[in-house]
Amino acid sequence: MGEDEKSPTPAESWAIIDAQRRQVRESLSSDDRMLYGIWGLAWGIGYVAMFFTVGPEGEPHLLGGSIFGGLIVAALVFTVVHSERRASGLGGAGGRMNARLGTAWGASFGASFFIYGGMFSAGLEGEGVGVVANGLPCLVVACLFMASGAAWNDTRQYRLGVWIAVVVAIASVTGVPYLYLVMAGLGGGGFLVAALADYLDRRRA
């Protein structure tokens, strides 16, 4: 056997195996940099729009609500698509679990929109509408991130869900209109910090 054909050392073999494992893991998982980044931008831009368009009695304005809603729908679609992408590469219980988590996002937000419709049909208005309209979908996001983190043993995603729940509590006590700035800074900022942390982890890997 020539020098160019010699077998790799044990250390080189382990390095090759580890590189292949990382490649497979990344191909089967959603890109958390994109996932967190999309949500961070949606919350940051959307909540700032809500703050600057809030009504005189603290009620959400149609313009700000439309901007925020459009950004959230875009982030939601991105999340579901990436969840389905992960599920398509997995078989058995893991694939079913992730597919169900993806469905949970759509079902939960769909139910939230019906709750909004019921609120407005009942004639609710004023600052309380802003607090509830903000808290409900954000708690959905918090719970689903915690559930996904627990299901996939993803500590960062689980902690991010806990952080979102804490931010929602702080924002709700703060009240309209400044709760929107709390959500933009602490909520959107939390997502962007998570995106940066995932980026740095991938650089070190």
Question: pLDDT tens digits for 7-38?
Answer: 667 666 666 665 555 555 555 556 788 889 99
Half-sphere exposure of 121 (CA within 13 A, CB side): 6
C-beta separation of 59 from 127 below 8 A = yes
Half-sphere exposure of 95 (CA within 13 A, CB side): 8
Asked whether the predicted pLDDT for residue 50 surpasses 50, the reply is yes
Q: Measured between alpha carbons, how far is 187 from 48 in angstroms, rounded to an integer? A: 12
C-beta separation of 108 from 140 below 8 A = yes
Question: pLDDT tens digits for 136-166?
Answer: 889 998 998 898 888 878 899 999 999 999 9
Looking at per-residue pLDDT, the higher value among 15 and 111 belongs to 111
Q: What are the residue ranges spanned by the domains of the chain? A: 12-204
C-beta separation of 53 from 66 below 8 A = no
- pTM of model > 0.95: no
pLDDT value at position 1? Answer: 47
pLDDT value at position 51? Answer: 92
Question: pLDDT tens digits for 161-190?
Answer: 999 999 999 999 998 889 999 999 999 999
Mean pLDDT of all residues belonging to the chain? 81
Closest CA to 157 of 190, 204, 188, 108: 190
Cα angle for residues 160, 52, 138 (degrees, 5° grid):
25
